[in-house]
Amino acid sequence: MGSMCGICTVKHDPSNPTTTALTNIFEIKGELHSKIEHAKKTKSFNIDKMNYSNLEILENKEIPNLVLFSAENNRLYSLPTIFFSKQRKLKKLLLANNNFGEFPANLTNNSNIDKMDLSHNLIKSIPAQSLVNFVSLKELNLSHNKLVAISEDFISLFNLEVLDLSFNHIQLFHSFILQMNKLEYLNLKNNEILVLPKTDYKFSKLTTLDVSNNGLTEVPPDLFKNSKISALNLKNNSIKRSDLYNIEGFLDFEERRKGRKDQGFLMNLDINFNLCGLDS
């Protein structure tokens, strides 16, 4: 069908790639418009499982007072800069299962975000200074990526309480992580860590540490003696359960562990029945 009054109506012909592409574009625009209007009322924008590879169509859109943005299970590799620069009240950013190759560096105006999920992406690095503006961030999930190191910029996340870096390729557990003011839960499961920090546990607020499935051969006495850690997972390392009993401070750790176990705050770690996840 041709045009009428300057408006082009395209009839979908599956055998014609051009009309198929145009139809898809119109469907995407219509779908997004509907979701944008919904988000203006609910303050929540959800485009999970939509197979989007980019969000350029959002660049000049307005969603005032947006609190939650979820675009999980797509093919995204970047975020629209102008759109996010306007989302100053955004609190939850959920981008798991996409194709991000590095931490998004264009979120400098989103200092109110308190939860961010970038798990199951392809992130290899975190650009310098890209974390400094997240002064409200309490929970960060970067699990199942390709990170090889923990950037010292993490120290700037002084309100962070939960950090998940499991299933990466991290080789060093730097002691500066223990200097993060409010960090209580740290998951480093399934990395390539060979050594834990020897000291600096005394002033850390860390209570839960998962370092299972790494290459550890020992536990530093300071972790048992001077830390607040009461939930520790050492499963699948080169450490035996019997080794722990001879480490200075182990009895102090046992008291903390039993107290936490009694309260039922085990954060899904495998220590309900097996000491530190170790069978023997």
Q: Is this prediction's pTM over 0.85?
A: yes
Q: What is d(CA 197, CA 219) in angstroms, rounded to the nearest whole number?
A: 9
From residue 207, alpha-carbon distances to 108, 151, 156, 229, 243 in Å are: 30, 22, 20, 4, 21
Quick check: 249 and 224 in contact, CB under 8 A? Answer: yes
CB neighbour class for 139 (10 Å; exposed up to 12, middle 13-18, buried from 19): middle
* Residues of the chain below pLDDT 70: 1-30, 261-274
CA atoms within 13 A on the CB side of 151: 18
User: Could you tell me which of 205, 165, 203 has the C-alpha nearest to residue 184?
Assistant: 205
Query: Which tokens hold the place of 263?
Result: 């309260």
pLDDT for the residue numbered 21:
38
Domains of the chain: 43-277 (3.80.10.10)
Instruction: Report how far residue 118's alpha carbon sits from residue 140's, in angstroms, rounded to the nearest whole number.
Output: 8
Q: How do residues 193-232 score in pLDDT, each as one tens digit?
A: 999 999 889 989 999 999 999 999 999 999 999 999 999 9
State the pLDDT at residue 274: 64
- Identify the pLDDT of residue 15: 53
* Backbone φ and ψ of 99, nearest 5°: -120, 30
Both tokens assigned to 79? 């975020």
CB atoms within 10 A of CB 54: 14
**pLDDT the model gives residue 237:** 97
